[in-house]
Structure 1
Amino acid sequence: MMRVDLPDGRRLDVEVEGPEGGLPLVYHHGAPGAAVLYRPLVDAAARHGLRIVTYARPGYGRSDAAPGRVVADAARDTAAVLDALGLGDFVTVGWSGGGPHALACATVLAGRCMAAATLGGVAPYTAEGLDWTAGMGADNIEEFGAAVSGEPALTEYLRAQEEVLGRVTGAEVADALGDLVSEVDRRQLTGGFADYLAESFRIAVTAGIAGWRDDDLAFIRKWGFDLRGGCPVAVWQGDQDRMVPYAHGRWLAANVPGARAHLLPGHGHLSLFGLVDEVLDDLVAGRA
């Protein structure tokens, strides 16, 4: 892992892997999450001639926090990371809480971002016609209820969760997620994927809950960009998702102009990682 200096003086944790000269694939992790590479995604990217770039959003791991950030700020951080690495045009994928940040790149960096995909990505909290928490597991309903109540309530809630995630192992991660995990997702939470997710959680809260807190607050604020006018976008969503409900994917598919919708019966939130080759096939084919 490397640390990249940004023009404003902040530093972010960054991981890069893949073929030299490959088109950069910027992967935006979930919330909470960190700059941890999932080997099957790295390998799938290499098969498509893509080089993975992932960074820990401000406040996660050793990345310097940026209190008050909005989702659109991720596009500026992405551009700064790529500039520091000497990289130009790119494609991007955002999973879960990373979904809005991939959409920010698709819109704010349109022209440089050639294609984007969201996997179980969150829709705007203010989305018209969307009951945002309907279908979520109880833990997420409580978490975002705390976020709406304000930063002190959210901080208190997340600090209690920090103790669990800060020491979670792959064997424990399914139980730690409780009713957020549907049956199809529980089947995904084994072996290397469970270890990857647990490691990402542990590293995410190394320095506390600042990144997680600021993500949650950013999700319920205005995102700072318009979903219209961006590069080609694909929306992947499962109907068994209890972390980010199916309705979020349907809303995004209907409201991101030209979005390619992959609304999948029988899939959940985590099981989408079993489709990485299909996701990248579609991403590369859909480039502007």
Structure 2
Amino acid sequence: MVYQATELPPPQSDQSPDNPPGNAPRIKLRDGRYLAYREQGVPKNQSKYNVIIVHGFGSSKEMNFLAPQGMIEELGIYFLLYDRAGYGESDPNLRRSVKSEALDIQELADQLEIGSRFYVIGVSMGSYPIWSCLKYIPQRLAGAALIVPVVNYNWPSLPKKLIREDYRRNLVQWTYRFAKYAPGLLHWWVTQKWTPSTSVLEKNAAFFNTHDIEVLKKIPGFSMLSQEKIRQRDVFDTLRHDFIVAFGDWEFDPMELSNPFLQNEGSVHIWQGYEDKVVPFQLQRCISKKLPWIQYHEVPGGGHLIVHYTGLCEAVLRALLLGEEPLTLDQIHP
């Protein structure tokens, strides 16, 4: 039983109908992996602002970032979305690390020739690659935004008093232990038909507030987190490795980072929902207090899915690209 708990079922063949060949454009990285991407907005040869968007857990380059089309054309914004390692049509990275996420972004930008400096926006779990960019490639950044960024409870500078009683900390720690040391048991558990579905479409009130649940009625959801998908070995491996890296031991403490924009040539922003049940606002307030050069924006009544709220993407872009005061927060709504 112990052996079975630590072992996973064999992966499906790449020729399986569950793994059809992709049609997205891809680049070949230095280590031989392929990274799939999608371009949106104005053509990059006509753009004034180049923005790389990093998707979160169980998502992909097909995620929605609902900026008004008129604004995109008026400002000349080029968006580059990509599948992080193992997601969508990108190859997995068996050596995935916090640092490798930043290096993937840098190589993607270089191969697509979007300029020496660019903006990055990370959503939820896609925020840890943004912290990595701030650490390892700050000279390439024109600005950065983190939307409902996950917080690693292992960061040394987090006050113990603040996280000691947080039930989310225990949930993350136990999931991390099973993912790292007993992946077979974790895979068995999440694929049992008699257990609750892992799909976010279950509208679980433990993770989503009422505004989020209204959003889930309008968006396609996250099919990669469904039991049907997570049964697939390659999908499970990708989610497991992503989780382990995000919540494992990092080589640096983000709360010790220095301001990369000492001459105010760029800015960094955190956007957080006050009613977020995945990442509590108290943690984000603590981070922004420790790093006063980060501009902190809190959405009253906002849950974990604020990136899908009307007005949020426009507010993020205006603050990040133009340095404008965001829309009044009561204008951001599901």
TM-score by length of 1: 0.82
Task: Name the CA distance, whole Å, in 1 between partners of 2:154 and 2:281.
Answer: 17
Ranked by relative contact order (alpha carbons within 8 Å, sequence separation 6 or more), the top structure is 1
TM-score by length of 2: 0.72
Query: 2:83 maps to what in 1?
Result: 56
**1:270 corresponds to 2:305:** yes
Question: What is the RMSD computed on CA atoms of the aligned residues?
Answer: 3.0
**1:17 corresponds to 2:40:** yes
**1:35 corresponds to 2:79:** no
Q: One-letter code of the match for 1:198? A: F
Task: Name the CA distance, whole Å, in 2 between partners of 1:234 and 1:132.
Answer: 26
Tell me the CA shift for residue 149 of structure 1: 4.4
Query: 2:286 maps to what in 1?
Result: 251
Tell me the CA shift for residue 48 of structure 1: 3.8
Name the larger-Rg structure.
2
Query: 1:99 maps to what in 2?
Result: 127
Residues 286/124 of structure 1: CA separation in 2 closer, same or farther (3 Å cut): farther
Task: Write the mapping of 1:78-227 to structure 2, written as runs, cut at 5 A.
Answer: 78-88=105-115, 89-127=117-155, 128-129=158-159, 130-131=162-163, 134=166, 136=168, 142=171, 144-154=173-183, 156-157=185-186, 160-161=189-190, 173-175=200-202, 177=204, 179-191=206-218, 194-195=219-220, 197-198=221-222, 201=225, 207-225=234-252, 227=254
SS in 1 for 2:315: helix
SS in 1 for 2:53: strand
**1:237 corresponds to 2:272:** yes
Contact persistence 1:144–1:216 (CA under 8 A): no
Task: Name the CA distance, whole Å, in 1 between partners of 2:288 and 2:184.
Answer: 32
SS in 2 for 1:91: strand
Task: Name the CA distance, whole Å, in 2 between partners of 1:246 and 1:85.
Answer: 36
SS in 2 for 1:123: coil
Measured against aligned partners, the alpha-carbon deviations of 1:21-79 in whole angstroms (never above 9, x if no partner) come to 32221111111221214162484655542211111111212322223422222110001
Task: Name the CA distance, whole Å, in 2 between partners of 1:148 and 1:119.
Answer: 27
Query: 2:6 maps to what in 1?
Result: none
Measured against aligned partners, the alpha-carbon deviations of 1:68-118 in whole angstroms (never above 9, x if no partner) come to 422222110001111111112210111110112112223322121111111
Residues 6/177 of structure 1: CA separation in 2 closer, same or farther (3 Å cut): farther
Query: 1:73 maps to what in 2?
Result: 100
Query: 1:7 maps to what in 2?
Result: 30
Residues 39/236 of structure 1: CA separation in 2 closer, same or farther (3 Å cut): closer
Which consecutive unaligned segments of at least 5 residues does structure 1 have? none
Task: Name the CA distance, whole Å, in 2 between partners of 1:163 and 1:270.
Answer: 27
